[in-house]
């Protein structure tokens, strides 16, 4: 029966159906017929009933009981324990081990030599209120992984977030960092960007501190009174150059198996070029306070009770770092439930299990929810149910140092994944709050249906409606209007920062990143205070949002695995891409206009005229005028994509999941691999590991996405010839993708 | 000769004219012929040559040598000394004395009773680096003038800036201030708004503190190392309800002569309803730190190293205040140079002379520049020159407590001023930086010509070009484009905060407010550290900007007094009014849209759904839907004004200052009184003292202007019937003004 007609018939009957049956008259789920939707909804209800908050509580506690970074004894225990759980639930489970570079510190020292002596403490004290904070023997000290060794002494310069625009501000003031040590604050960018840019500018060392404005007392009461970062708290973290490639620095592009060919360490491009260390705001304050030179621009000033100056000096600082450059095993737990009908189609669901220290929020909150989800899914099989497609649960190791476990696994299994992966669904830290909506736009409608069907546990309304409620109370009028009209919620494009990156951006596997957040009081990111004690007071006290995450994850997996027709859809993607194309043109126009006024300002001496008294200002050079770029190829490709999406929508409406099995099979084969059409084997210029031409982490943002990156980053960097080329290549990629969508539409509903 | 043709002829000759003669070939000045422009330019060159920085330096030092608030011995000395100077330069000079209410404190005490005892210091210590800071016997203590007496004890609530929108935020959180003492930070509004709104909400007392974010260490190094407010520094200031009426609280609308009828103090509407006291951030910190309750919204948090909470309590505070409610003499120095040709047409130029303490910046910097200007003008008369119109220089007393001297003088002389005043040119504090452009838009072209003709002393470029340079380097693309096209610089409309208010907003006399600023390091506003020592280090070390102000003021006076045709022009006004009309419509639409989404949010329970965990949220009521207002009368009036401005521009181009004497005389008579057409005797609803229907200080902003206030404030307050009425009345006023402009055009260039 035509599903649309079924829906109309059911709707006609709907007036007096009891609430219990309401789901039966909802429109069919994407990829399902009305009949299979009803079955699926029943399945999901049974699934929900098996998700237990007490499990999640126990497992967050268990996972975070001791420090469990990659290569640690408790990390191994956790992996083996989880493998045991999966096995006990009936999953075909294995631990896949990779052999990854993971430096830990031997020497860490930061001393101020002038204008007065000060030695940074570089330690987070144990707190009576936090039971695990005293596990000193197993804790990694505060450090940045993949910093190189070094012993440098130099004057200090404050560089704000340490992104390229910050150095432009310094240059305007005649301040160079060549030969200096920079101190940057955490925030805005991936932390690895800070030493990367500092080194490009000639700095010899880099300190990164947590300003209290960001996650300390400015944000809220500090731990243990409140949830935010206390003055001695510091943020560990990787500083690998991940926008170049993530994963083991020694084995780019291939799985770091024990026998893999490895680069010598000196050749590993993702290690920093200069030594770098994170410090607390208690340690940073004397250093910043000792700076003179110009007062920092207003937006650079944090919440320390000082006047922020830029330097250089008179603060003179020595930073000594030496690491133990060992290799350690990264243990990925892989648990497979084989599909009954399409075993060669894999739905992959993962979360990492390693933490920087005890990692209750990051990652145990997400990991425990994933376990609860996998358990509930397994319970469905007790009654004979089997997934249509193969479901793969993964607990990644070594995410923190650089997505090691996921990247190596993806590289190792690239060939199978390219052929078989339907989608990858990621989660990571979770807390009370709002459902995040991030992922491939071809999954936007699926995600909307899931957000509609999962309740916010604190409020009873659906996660989707709560997001609309928030938009309705927000500042943005356009968003308020969209919420009022109940338009589809838009996905945000994925940049980087968690384990979806190798799937999406290396192989072109459609991906989602799911999780609740925004209402935790989280100032303990990557510190020893990211503990169970902190979690139950400030993040998700009753683990209700953990359960909600399991329900979102479960639905993602169950719908992707059960849908007769893979639940992709392309109009949202078409809209998103059209927006990105508009953004590029607007960006180029904006740069052109800014260049015109900049050059006029240079010519008329405006920089000199506006220089404030008693402060040096350096007049910048004229900039090359911005040519008009030919956006037509992109616009045409975008148009074609939108038309293809419309055609597919029509095919969905007319045939959809009710299409004949052969047609569905053909369409599914195309849909499964559609996102691959956004990739090219040669990858992006200068960073071939990144192969996706719609979504990439910014080369100078790291976490933040750059959509249509080849064109966008060339425009941002004023490489006009590259921009023209980027537009052309991106247009080809979009056109190829549109072709796949057209094929899928044709397969599903052949033209009569 | 037709001035336009003259200009073309001179231009043809211009190729090889030496630089010295360049001014002769500039376009004629507004209101002058080519010939009289050349004369005027020579006159201004001679004027400039007589402006001496050393005079300004000496006079700032002299004026600020001792505390000189209204009624003080040194205030009297200053007035008499200035009167002597004016007399010595040949001005017909008198001191006009008014008898004004000026309370000074007898008792000031702020104690925290719980959760721990603390007594506020309420004193600014003397500094070795600041010679006058130790003059304790003559210094006014830190207090707010026109606070009532009181002795109140209550829990404390933090209310951010204490404007109405802040209380909406508190109400959303279920926090009421009824029966509480509020602590507000300085900034955003006129300080008198804070106790006014607090009292409206039922608070029993009000503390106002200087957050270091505003003018303390966040802004820059603190005094004496830098120019910003040290932790014990506090901001004195008036808290009279000046948006109701300025001037002596006991004599609204009439001059406070000794025999004037006075309100009993209990009937004076501009005194506060609750006791209020300013405190330093050293005194505020323990109070704020002792608050619990919800964490303040992010934009409410200042730069103290604490987590800002809202309260109420547990901080419990007692505030005791008692004042000596004495009347004191306010001494205005009035110096007149009678016009040779049009003695009944007055150009008025003023600055106040009273300070809160030593007041080097505020007001001595502006006062000394005015003196230098008046002296230079007088020197022109040595060679037989006399002004065409009468020039009146004024040094106002009692500006700080509430524009006392200027308001009483204007009220006393209202009748003459209405008939005779061409314009009022005000100045106040001055420092290095950029020329401010604020005033009646009918003077925009004049002000542009002056800004073009006065050099920025630090940079050599004209003040106008420096403003364009700044715009060119700014963020706003539209402003960059305007600067690039060298469009006329736009005046900002005047709100309140200095002595132009009675002239402009009570009598409808076109006004300018002139002064340089923005590059001083000024954290000493209304403190004992606003001293000569501070001034010469941080504000205008070589008094070059004082001299520049004298040149701007001198040109304003000389052009207004000498122009054959009064230098008004109306296209800028037409554009400004059209913008204001658009703003009103946009504002109404915005409120309508926000109301729709607000009501939808109330109905769907969005407020409950978005309430954060562990925090109370109160669901607001539905709001009355916003009707569509009839803006047509305003749009038609605005259109007519623009057409009238065009007609006047054509008359200027065809006849202008070269028109026959009788025509000029007729036009001048109309032009002189044109701005009066923006007023109505009945004034604004609820505050009849304010009679100007285009410019008014906001009833809830105080300093900040509300243009087209009758309509705008009704829309903002959701009084829709009043808004309709306000639109109609404002349209009538604009139409009446347009009629005056049409008459002026017709007088100048009668239709053939």
CA dist B523 and A514 (Å) reads: 48
Which of B301, B480, B590 shows the shortest C-beta gap to A597?
A: B480
Q: Which long-range contacts (C-beta less than 8 Å, at least 24 apart) are formed by A90-95?
A: A90/A337, A90/A378, A90/A381, A91/A335, A91/A336, A91/A337, A91/A374, A91/A378, A91/A393, A92/A335, A92/A336, A92/A337, A92/A338, A93/A333, A93/A334, A93/A335, A93/A336, A94/A333, A94/A334, A95/A331, A95/A332, A95/A333, A95/A334
> What pLDDT sits at residue B25?
57
| Domain membership flag for residue A83 | yes
Q: Are residues A402 and A544 in the same domain?
A: yes
* Contact call for B473 and A610, based on CB within 8 A: yes
Residue B114 has pLDDT above 90, yes or no: yes
Taking only the tens place, the pLDDT of each residue in B178-202 is 999 999 999 999 999 999 999 999 9
Q: Are residues B556 and B593 in the same domain?
A: no
* Contact call for B222 and A596, based on CB within 8 A: no
CA dist A693 and A708 (Å) reads: 6
Q: What percent of chain A has pLDDT over 70?
A: 96
The residue of chain B nearest to residue A226, with distances taken between CA atoms, is B307
CA dist A424 and A637 (Å) reads: 27
CA dist B439 and B428 (Å) reads: 14
Nearest to B559 by CA among B24, B41, B14, B34: B41
Where on the phi/psi map is residue B332: left (φ > 0), alpha (ψ -120 to 50), or beta? beta
Q: Are residues B55 and B119 in the same domain?
A: no
Which of B498, B529, B562 is the C-terminal boundary of a domain? B562
The residue of chain B nearest to residue A597, with distances taken between CA atoms, is B472
Provide the mean pLDDT of chain B: 95
Q: Which one of A456, A476, A516, A609 makes the best mutation probe of the B interface by having the most chain B beta carbons within 10 Å?
A: A609
Mean pLDDT of B531-544: 98
User: Do B607 and B620 form a contact (C-beta atoms < 8 A)?
Assistant: yes
> What pLDDT sits at residue A566?
98
A-to-B residue pairs, Cβ atoms closer than 8 angstroms: 122
Which of B295, B303, B469 shows the shortest C-beta gap to A610?
A: B469
Q: Which one of A601, A608, A612 makes the best mutation probe of the B interface by having the most chain B beta carbons within 10 Å?
A: A601
* Contact call for B608 and A222, based on CB within 8 A: no
More confident call, A531 vs B750: A531
Q: Which one of B609, B617, B622 makes the best mutation probe of the A interface by having the most chain A beta carbons within 10 Å?
A: B609
> Longest Cα pair distance anywhere in chain B, in angstroms?
84
* Contact call for A226 and B307, based on CB within 8 A: yes
* Contact call for A481 and B593, based on CB within 8 A: yes
Range of the domain at A175: 104-325
Taking only the tens place, the pLDDT of each residue in B375-403 is 999 999 998 999 999 999 999 999 999 99
CA dist A42 and A188 (Å) reads: 44
Q: Which of the four pLDDT bands, split at 50, 70 and 90, describes residue A399? A: very high
Which of B309, B325, B341 is the C-terminal boundary of a domain? B325
Q: Which of the four pLDDT bands, split at 50, 70 and 90, describes residue A416? A: very high
DSSP alpha helices (H): ranges in A473-570? Answer: 477-484, 500-501, 507, 532-538, 544-562
* Contact call for A473 and B593, based on CB within 8 A: no
* Contact call for B597 and A481, based on CB within 8 A: yes
Set of chain B residues whose Cβ sits within 8 Å of the Cβ of A221: 295, 307
CA dist A348 and A342 (Å) reads: 14
| Domain membership flag for residue A26 | no
> What pLDDT sits at residue B605?
94
Output DSSP code: residue A296. Answer: P
Q: Which one of B593, B597, B598, B620 makes the best mutation probe of the A interface by having the most chain A beta carbons within 10 Å?
A: B597
Taking only the tens place, the pLDDT of each residue in A269-281 is 999 999 999 999 9
| Domain membership flag for residue A283 | yes
Residue A7 has pLDDT above 60, yes or no: no
The residue of chain A nearest to residue B590, with distances taken between CA atoms, is A477
* Contact call for A303 and B305, based on CB within 8 A: yes
- Nearest-neighbour CA in chain B from A281: distance (Å): 12
The angle at the Cα of A605, spanning A602 to A608, to the nearest 5 degrees, equals 110
Residue A392 has pLDDT above 80, yes or no: yes
* Contact call for A307 and B456, based on CB within 8 A: no
* Contact call for B597 and A519, based on CB within 8 A: no
Q: Which of the four pLDDT bands, split at 50, 70 and 90, describes residue B5? A: very low
- Nearest-neighbour CA in chain B from A218: distance (Å): 5
Strand-pairing partners, residue B684, are B687
Residue A153 has pLDDT above 50, yes or no: yes
Q: Are residues A310 and A421 in the same domain?
A: no
Q: Are residues B603 and B551 in the same domain?
A: no
> What pLDDT sits at residue A6?
34
Residue A561 has pLDDT above 50, yes or no: yes
User: Do A377 and A47 form a contact (C-beta atoms < 8 A)?
Assistant: yes
> What pLDDT sits at residue B23?
45
One DSSP character per residue, B185-230 reads ES-SS-TTHHHHHHHHTT-SEEEEE--HHHHSTTTSPBTTTSSBPP
Q: Are residues A341 and A320 in the same domain?
A: no
Q: Which of the four pLDDT bands, split at 50, 70 and 90, describes residue A751? A: low
Q: Which of the four pLDDT bands, split at 50, 70 and 90, describes residue B11? A: very low
CA dist B540 and B532 (Å) reads: 10
| Domain membership flag for residue A486 | no
CA dist B584 and B723 (Å) reads: 10
Q: Are residues B175 and B301 in the same domain?
A: yes
Going along A186-250, which residue ranges are E strands? Answer: 205-209, 237-238
- Nearest-neighbour CA in chain A from B136: distance (Å): 29
Distant-in-sequence, close-in-space partners of A285: CB < 8 Å, separation ≥ 6: A304, A306
CA dist A445 and A424 (Å) reads: 16
> What pLDDT sits at residue B751?
67
Set of chain B residues whose Cβ sits within 8 Å of the Cβ of A473: 601, 606-607, 610
Taking only the tens place, the pLDDT of each residue in A439-488 is 999 999 999 999 999 999 999 999 999 999 999 999 999 999 999 999 99
* Contact call for B484 and A600, based on CB within 8 A: yes
Which of A212, A226, A601 shows the shortest C-beta gap to B472?
A: A601
Mean pLDDT of A63-74: 98
Q: Which one of B224, B225, B472, B482 makes the best mutation probe of the A interface by having the most chain A beta carbons within 10 Å?
A: B472
| Domain membership flag for residue A478 | no
Provide the mean pLDDT of chain A: 95
* Contact call for B305 and A212, based on CB within 8 A: yes
Residue A519 has pLDDT above 80, yes or no: yes
> What pLDDT sits at residue A8?
33
CATH number (domain holding residue A545): 3.40.630.10
CATH number (domain holding residue B741): 1.20.930.40
Q: Kindly report the backbone phi and psi dihedral angles of residue B137, in degrees, each rounded to the nearest multiple of 5, phi listed first.
A: -65, -25
Q: Are residues A350 and A239 in the same domain?
A: no
Mean pLDDT of B676-703: 95
Set of chain B residues whose Cβ sits within 8 Å of the Cβ of A605: 461, 469
Taking only the tens place, the pLDDT of each residue in B300-328 is 999 999 999 999 999 999 999 999 999 99
Output DSSP code: residue A496. Answer: S
> What pLDDT sits at residue A144?
98
- Nearest-neighbour CA in chain B from A83: distance (Å): 35
CA dist A467 and A483 (Å) reads: 8
| Domain membership flag for residue A284 | yes
* Contact call for A609 and B465, based on CB within 8 A: yes
Mean pLDDT of B527-533: 98
Residue A1 has pLDDT above 60, yes or no: no
Which of A325, A355, A379 is the C-terminal boundary of a domain? A325
| Domain membership flag for residue A710 | yes
Set of chain A residues whose Cβ sits within 8 Å of the Cβ of B295: 220-221
Burial class from Cβ neighbours inside 10 Å (0-12, 13-18, 19+) for residue B455 reads: middle
Q: Are residues A445 and A413 in the same domain?
A: yes
* Contact call for B218 and A608, based on CB within 8 A: no
Three-class DSSP category at B183: strand
Q: Are residues B46 and B137 in the same domain?
A: no
The residue of chain B nearest to residue A214, with distances taken between CA atoms, is B298
CATH number (domain holding residue A229): 3.50.30.30
Which of A222, A472, A590 shows the shortest C-beta gap to B606?
A: A472
Q: Are residues A706 and A593 in the same domain?
A: yes
* Contact call for A593 and B480, based on CB within 8 A: yes
The residue of chain B nearest to residue A303, with distances taken between CA atoms, is B303
Mean pLDDT of B426-444: 98
The residue of chain A nearest to residue B215, with distances taken between CA atoms, is A307
Q: What's the pTM? A: 0.94
| Domain membership flag for residue A6 | no
Residue A97 has pLDDT above 50, yes or no: yes
Residue B15 has pLDDT above 90, yes or no: no
Q: Are residues A340 and A321 in the same domain?
A: no
Which of A220, A461, A473 shows the shortest C-beta gap to B295?
A: A220
> What pLDDT sits at residue A752?
55
Number of domains within chain A: 3
Nearest to B296 by CA among B120, B172, B118: B172
| Residue B222 CB neighbour total at 10 angstroms | 23
The residue of chain A nearest to residue B298, with distances taken between CA atoms, is A219
Burial class from Cβ neighbours inside 10 Å (0-12, 13-18, 19+) for residue A628 reads: exposed
Dihedral sign for Cα atoms in the order B586, B588, B589, B590: positive
């Amino acid at each position: 029966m035509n599903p649309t007609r079924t829906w109309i018939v059911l709707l006609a009957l709907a007036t007096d159906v009891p609430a219990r049956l309401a789901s039966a008259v909802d429109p069919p789920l994407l990829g399902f017929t009305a009949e299979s939707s009803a079955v699926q909804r029943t399945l999901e209800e049974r699934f929900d009933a098996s998700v237990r908050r007490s499990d999640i509580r126990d497992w967050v506690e268990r996972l975070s009981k001791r420090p469990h970074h990659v290569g640690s004894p408790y990390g191994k225990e956790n992996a083996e324990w989880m493998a045991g759980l999966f096995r006990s639930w009936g999953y075909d489970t294995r631990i896949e081990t990779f052999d990854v570079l993971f430096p830990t510190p031997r020497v860490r020292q930061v001393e101020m030599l002038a204008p007065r002596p000060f030695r940074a403490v570089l330690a987070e004290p144990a707190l009576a209120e936090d039971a695990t904070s005293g596990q000193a023997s197993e804790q990694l000290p505060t450090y940045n992984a993949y910093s190189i060794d070094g012993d440098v002494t130099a004057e200090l310069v404050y560089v704000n977030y340490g992104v390229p625009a910050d150095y432009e501000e310094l240059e305007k003031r005649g301040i160079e960092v060549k030969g200096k040590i920079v101190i940057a604050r955490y925030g805005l960018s991936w932390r690895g960007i800070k030493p990367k840019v500092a080194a490009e500018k000639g700095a010899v060392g880099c300190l990164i501190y947590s300003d209290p404005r960001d996650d300390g007392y400015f944000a809220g009461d500090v731990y243990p009174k409140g949830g935010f970062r206390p003055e001695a708290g510091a943020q560990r973290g990787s500083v690998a150059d991940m926008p170049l490639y993530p994963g083991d620095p020694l084995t780019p592009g291939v799985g770091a198996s024990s026998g893999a060919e490895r680069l010598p360490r000196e050749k590993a491009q993702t290690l920093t070029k200069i030594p770098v260390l994170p410090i607390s705001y208690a340690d940073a304050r004397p250093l910043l306070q000792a700076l003179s030179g110009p007062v920092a621009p207003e937006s650079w000033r944090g919440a320390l009770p000082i006047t922020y100056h830029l330097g250089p000096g008179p603060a003179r600082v020595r930073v000594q770092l030496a690491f133990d450059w060992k290799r350690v095993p990264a243990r990925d737990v892989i648990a497979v439930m084989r599909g009954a009908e399409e075993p060669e189609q894999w739905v992959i669901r993962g979360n990492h299990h390693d933490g920087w220290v005890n990692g209750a929020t990051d990652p145990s909150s997400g990991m425990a929810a994933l376990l609860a989800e996998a358990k509930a899914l397994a319970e469905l099989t007790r009654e004979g149910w089997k997934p249509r497609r193969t479901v793969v649960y993964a607990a990644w190791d070594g995410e923190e140092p650089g997505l090691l476990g996921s990247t190596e696994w993806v590289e190792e299994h690239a060939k199978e994944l390219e052929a078989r992966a339907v989608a990858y669904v990621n989660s990571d830290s979770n807390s009370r709050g709002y459902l995040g909506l991030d992922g491939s736009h071809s999954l936007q409608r699926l995600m909307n249906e899931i957000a509609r069907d999962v309740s916010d546990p604190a409020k009873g309304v659906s996660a989707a409606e709560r997001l609309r409620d928030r938009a309705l109370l927000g500042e943005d009028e356009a968003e308020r209007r969209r919420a009022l009209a109940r338009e589809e919620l838009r996905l945000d494009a994925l940049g980087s920062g968690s384990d979806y990156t190798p799937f999406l951006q290396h192989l072109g596997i459609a991906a989602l990143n799911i999780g609740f957040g925004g209402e935790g009081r989280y100032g303990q990111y990557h510190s020893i205070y990211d503990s169970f004690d902190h979690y139950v007071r400030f993040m998700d006290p009753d683990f209700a949002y953990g359960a909600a995450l399991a329900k979102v994850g479960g639905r993602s997996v169950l719908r992707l695995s059960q849908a007769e027709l893979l639940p992709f859809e392309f109009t949202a993607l078409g809209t998103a891409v059209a927006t990105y194309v508009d953004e590029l043109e607007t960006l180029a126009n904006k740069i052109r206009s800014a260049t015109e006024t900049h050059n006029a300002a240079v010519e008329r001496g405006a920089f000199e005229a506006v220089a404030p008294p008693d402060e040096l200002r350096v007049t910048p050079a004229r900039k090359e005028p911005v040519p008009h770029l030919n956006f037509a190829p992109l616009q045409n490709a975008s148009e074609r994509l939108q038309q293809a999406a419309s055609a597919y929508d029509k095919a969905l409406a007319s045939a959809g999941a009710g299409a004949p099995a052969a047609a569905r099979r053909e369409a599914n084969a195309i849909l499964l691999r559609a996102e691959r059409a956004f990739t090219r084997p040669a990858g992006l210029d200068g960073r071939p590991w990144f192969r996706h031409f719609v979504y990439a982490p910014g080369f100078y943002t790291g976490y933040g996405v750059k959509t249509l990156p080849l064109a966008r980053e060339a425009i941002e960097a004023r490489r006009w010839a590259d921009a023209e080329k980027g537009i052309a290549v991106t247009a080809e990629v979009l056109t190829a993708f549109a072709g796949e969508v057209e094929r899928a539409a044709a397969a599903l509903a052949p033209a009569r």
